[in-house]
């Protein structure tokens, strides 16, 4: 009798301890509840209409850029290993597929020599490509597959820490001090340093969901692209299969912040990451946004990767 009572007491104690330990833990259900229960922070009447979402939080527009900047500054150094952990390495396959599909570079042997005045190579603008993941792949593909030594990539990122990471990494590639690779700190909504109709290919990989004004960024992309130029976007999207979606949601809301905490020592940044993925518009919605910006979309407008975890969206500026 005595022993059973102490056992029960210990169990209760254990349970309460566990509850205490679990208090700061934010799983999907908690954050949903938070999003529903917490009324959006008291807004003054003038900033009422100009709010945006930061993950599941609603914040003033002016703050989003700053908060996103803080997130990426804190993850810059561990960005690549974190991506590997979170996507089980699949993000490399997506990026390879993305670049191979775009087939950048102009083969000097097969392209007709009829117009020698024409520009050699492509002019590529890689937005939000701070660490150079896409840029190096583009240049590699152009050089080795299409024998094109002229294609240039301008890497633009709003975050100096990510750019520094990319510059550091570029030292291990053959493009470090060549004129083919350039780093620019820029906001995708105001690309003043890029002239109108000057870009062949505008790419943005896993970046557009962090933009405060996606429409403004699309308009700006339309402006800088040459007629016939291509807007290509690789971004997380919506999973189509409900069963797989359930598994995926468990993974992203339970595992990813935990991995972020263990590997990068930064839970909140990765919590933002998964929340911003959940907030991003679905394939058809985003494809319609691209159409609304004036682009022609090829076929249905997007290509699902791994059941829709990510998707490639493309738009062509009409000539």
Partner 1 sequence: MASTRVANSSFRAVRAASIRPAAAWRQQCLYHSYDYAQPPPFPPAEAAILSAAYSHVPNHGFTIDTLKLGARDTGYLDVSTNLLPRGVFDLINYHLVTQRLALQNSVQFPDDGAATKKMGVGAKVRTLTLARLRANKPVIHRWQEALAIMAQPTYVAPSVAELAKLADEIWFLSGDQSVDSSWYTKRATLSAIYSSTEVFMTQDKSANFVETEQFLDNRLEDLTKIGGFLGGLGEWLNYTGHSAINVLRSKGARI
**Residues binding partner 1 (CB under 8 A):** 101-104, 106-107, 110-112, 122, 200-201, 226-230, 232, 296, 298-299, 303, 314, 316, 318-319
Q: How far is the CB of 106 from partner 1 (least distance, A)?
A: 6
- Closest to partner 1 by CB, 36 vs 115, is 115
Q: How far is the CB of 120 from partner 1 (least distance, A)?
A: 11
Binding residue per annotation — 212? no
Q: Which residue in 11, 10, 57, 49 sits closest to 32, CA to CA?
A: 57
- Closest to partner 1 by CB, 163 vs 232, is 232
Helices marked H in 214-282 — which ranges? 214-224, 242-250, 256-259, 267-279
Binding residue per annotation — 131? yes
Q: How far is the CB of 201 from partner 1 (least distance, A)?
A: 5
The number of angstroms, rounded, from the C-alpha of 4 to the middle of its chain's C-alpha atoms is: 55
- Closest to partner 1 by CB, 94 vs 248, is 94
Q: How far is the CB of 99 from partner 1 (least distance, A)?
A: 12
The number of angstroms, rounded, from the C-alpha of 250 to the middle of its chain's C-alpha atoms is: 20
Pairing of strands 310-316, 181-185: unpaired
Binding residue per annotation — 187? yes
- Closest to partner 1 by CB, 40 vs 298, is 298
- Closest to partner 1 by CB, 104 vs 207, is 104
Could you list the beta-strand ranges (E) of the chain.
Answer: 51-54, 57-60, 123-127, 152-157, 181-185, 199-205, 225-236, 302-305, 310-316
Cα separation, 123 vs 266, in Å, equals 37
Q: How far is the CB of 124 from partner 1 (least distance, A)?
A: 9
Helices marked H in 44-89 — which ranges? 61-75, 79-87
Binding residue per annotation — 157? yes
Binding residues for S-adenosyl-L-methionine: 131, 157, 187-188
Binding residues: 131, 157, 187-188
């Amino acid at each position: 009798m005595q022993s059973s009572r102490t056992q029960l007491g210990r169990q209760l104690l254990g349970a309460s301890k566990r509850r205490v330990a679990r208090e700061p833990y934010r799983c999907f259900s908690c954050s949903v509840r938070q999003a529903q229960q917490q009324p959006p922070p008291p807004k003054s009447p003038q900033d009422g209409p100009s709010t945006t979402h930061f993950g599941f939080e609603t914040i003033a527009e002016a703050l989003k850029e700053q908060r996103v900047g803080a997130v990426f500054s804190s993850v810059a150094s561990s960005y690549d290993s974190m991506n590997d952990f979170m996507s089980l390495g699949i993000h490399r396959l997506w990026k390879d597929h993305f670049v191979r599909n775009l087939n950048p570079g102009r083969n000097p042997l097969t392209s007709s020599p009829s117009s020698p005045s024409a520009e050699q190579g492509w002019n590529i603008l890689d937005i939000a490509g701070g660490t150079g993941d896409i840029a190096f792949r583009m240049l590699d593909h152009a050089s080795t597959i299409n024998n094109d030594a002229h294609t240039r990539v301008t890497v633009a990122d709003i975050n100096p820490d990510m750019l520094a990471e990319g510059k550091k990494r570029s030292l291990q590639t053959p493009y470090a001090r060549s004129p083919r690779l350039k780093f620019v700190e820029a906001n995708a909504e105001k690309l003043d340093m890029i002239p109108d109709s000057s870009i062949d290919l505008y790419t943005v990989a896993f970046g557009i969901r962090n933009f405060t004004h996606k429409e403004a960024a699309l308009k700006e992309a339309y402006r800088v692209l040459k007629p016939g130029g291509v807007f290509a976007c690789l971004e997380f999207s919506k999973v189509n299969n409900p069963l797989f979606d359930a598994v995926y949601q468990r993974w992203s809301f339970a595992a990813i912040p935990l991995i972020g905490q263990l590997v990068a020592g930064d839970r909140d940044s990765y919590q933002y990451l998964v929340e911003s993925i959940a907030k991003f518009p679905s394939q058809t919605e985003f494809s319609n946004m691209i159409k609304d910006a004036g682009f022609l979309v090829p076929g249905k407008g997007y290509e699902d990767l791994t059941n829709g975890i990510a998707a490639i969206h493309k738009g062509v500026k009409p000539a």
